[in-house]
Structure 1
Amino acid sequence: MKISRKEALMKNTTHTETFLVWPAGVPGGISQGRTEQETIFPPLHIPTPTRLIRNVVEPTLQAYLPDPSRANGTAVVVCPGGCFSFLSIEVEGEEVARWLNERGVAAFVLKYRLAPTPERDEDFMAQFMHIVHDVAGMQAQAPVGISDGQQALKLVRQRASEWGVDPERIGVLGFSAGGAIALAAATQYTAESRPAFAAPIYGPVWQELKVPQDAPPLFIALADDDPSIADGNMPLYNAWKASGHPVELHIYAKGGHGFGMTKQGLPSDRWIEQFADWLVSQGFLE
């Protein structure tokens, strides 16, 4: 099902506001011939069908604001995963945002630019296994998503007063491909885009590990039965620890890849509660 640009930007009862990440225009212009669309994906690694967003050409942020009586000034830019070709918008986006809202945290779900996929759902499904194993394709698309993530942090900081957000308490949380965006945000930033904290969740570690002198606190979570991800995150933890910056690592015995907010009756189910505990320990959740 396609959605128009107008629908993508309109206010509604769930999202406080949806706004453009690049209000002055997307760098390089908007790719023509594609329209953002939604696909209902059948159960694979999660037990129920889920909504995916595809063919994003104009990145947006969906703002979820907590009840003012609960708001604590902390905000999180949430980056769903999807191989830089789609977005797992429910279990790695909207559900995360609502959970954070209940704890007084403002959340901003990022739809970053994606590699093109076939318009017809049937054709997309036929290519799915190729997409999820095409590491070279993901790495080629990653810089665009990373740029959108950096700009999203900058924009939330610029507009922080509108949402009752403390500009010094804006962090980033990302899953899988979104985890790569979160990690890049934690290592490649300006004063305007630096996150106060970062949390890559089962994110790939493709970049050379250079920890900045003023690197933000880092929270890492993944499952041991997701070996390609686990192998890269141990050096990430060690590099952060060696630099003297706060870091916490959770490797769950089971959970697989892409668990997000899905409850599977596995150790990974509690990652977000442990993330909240970590935010408390770092002074971002009261």
Structure 2
Amino acid sequence: MGLAINCCLAQKIIPLYPGKAPGSESWLWKEQNLGGYLKDVTEPTLTAFIPDNPNGIGVIIAPGGGFHFLVYELEGTAVAKKLNERGITAFVLKYRLVHEDPAHPYYSQIMKEKNLKFLDSVNAPVVRLALQDALTAMKYVRQNARDYNIDPNKLGFMGSSAGGTVAMSLAYNATEENRPNFVASLYAYGSAVIGSKVPTVDTPIFIATASDDEFGFASYSVQTYSKWIEAKQPAELHMYQKGGHGFVMKKQNLPADNYLDRFTDWLLLEIYPKR
């Protein structure tokens, strides 16, 4: 595929379903764009970001946001553009979210109080829909990999926070047609993950989090790393002393600022080194 076609594909928006997304046909509210944050997503899509010189590796990115928002620019499009600089083709997943009644808002308060049990009870049905969106996205990209200059056997999935929940749920529930060849889990929220059995098929994992994560998500990352090692699966863990929650594309003058370089080094030098 030549550069002219690459330019046409750059930031192409791909609906995941031909009509209403299965399981949310009755949702009537409208999606809101709050300046880089999305809310009330009802129509899941992928947005393709195509590098000038693709190296055959593809990554689907699931931003975080507690299943009530998507931190779409900071944890999605900004990451995709940085991956493009290393020749990696990226797709930002816009997955379905919880609709919060505008007359009775609660999200900001429960996050302030860190009342994650209540959040889990509200989120649970939508986490399953988000997982379905991830599975559908993986199937689409694998089936159309050649159109994007991607090797269908070099297609992975990365997610941060709630997106990390989606990434881990995908790893535990995928079938041959939609399983990721590698996974990146960034300060994932473990309590909402669907499934727990490490894949038997070779599935390298990259994990990054911070010890001072204010929601206490560091321990889940360590547990995931240990499970992968026990299963004799390839695994790399970066546990930063500082960085807090949500360090994906923040500039804090800390080592965690460079996590994406560590991820791409892992992909290009360890998982898919040039022969």
TM-score (norm 1): 0.84
Tell me the distance in 1 between the aligned counterparts of 2:94 and 2:210.
25
**What is the CA-CA distance between 1:284 and the residue it aligns to?**
3.1
CA RMSD of the aligned region, Å? Answer: 2.2
2:221 equivalent in structure 1: 233
Work out which of the residue numbers 194, 198, 223 in structure 1 matches 2:210: 223
Tell me the distance in 2 between the aligned counterparts of 1:73 and 1:61.
18
1:26 equivalent in structure 2: 21
2:42 equivalent in structure 1: 57
Percent identity at matched positions? 38
**What is the CA-CA distance between 1:19 and the residue it aligns to?**
1.1
Aligned: 1:163 with 2:148: yes
Tell me the distance in 2 between the aligned counterparts of 1:32 and 1:140.
13
Q: 1:185 to 1:158 in 2, by over 3 A?
A: same
The 5 A counterparts of 1:175-254 are 175-206=160-191, 207=193, 209-226=196-213, 228-254=216-242
In structure 2, list runs of 5 or more residues that go unmatched: 1-6
Q: Name which of structure 1's ranges 183-192 and 128-137 shifts more when overlaid on structure 2.
A: 128-137
Residues 28-53 of structure 1: per-residue CA shift (max 9 Å, x gap): 3434321111113xxxxxxxxxx200
Q: 1:171 to 1:214 in 2, by over 3 A?
A: same
Cα contact 2:9–2:48 (8 A) shared by 1 = no
In structure 1, list runs of 5 or more residues that go unmatched: 1-11, 41-50
Matched residue of 2:267: which SS? helix
Cα contact 1:54–1:117 (8 A) shared by 2 = no
Tell me the distance in 1 between the aligned counterparts of 2:188 and 2:107.
22
TM-score (norm 2): 0.87
How many residue pairs get aligned? The number is 260
Residues 101-149 of structure 1: per-residue CA shift (max 9 Å, x gap): 11111100000000003569xx86x742325742332334211111111
**What is the CA-CA distance between 1:285 and the residue it aligns to?**
6.1
Tell me the distance in 2 between the aligned counterparts of 1:199 and 1:183.
9
2:135 equivalent in structure 1: 150
Residues 183-208 of structure 1: per-residue CA shift (max 9 Å, x gap): 11222111110101000100012345
Cα contact 1:209–1:239 (8 A) shared by 2 = no
Residues 65-122 of structure 1: per-residue CA shift (max 9 Å, x gap): 011xx211110000000111110011100000000111111100000000003569xx
Cα contact 1:223–1:251 (8 A) shared by 2 = yes
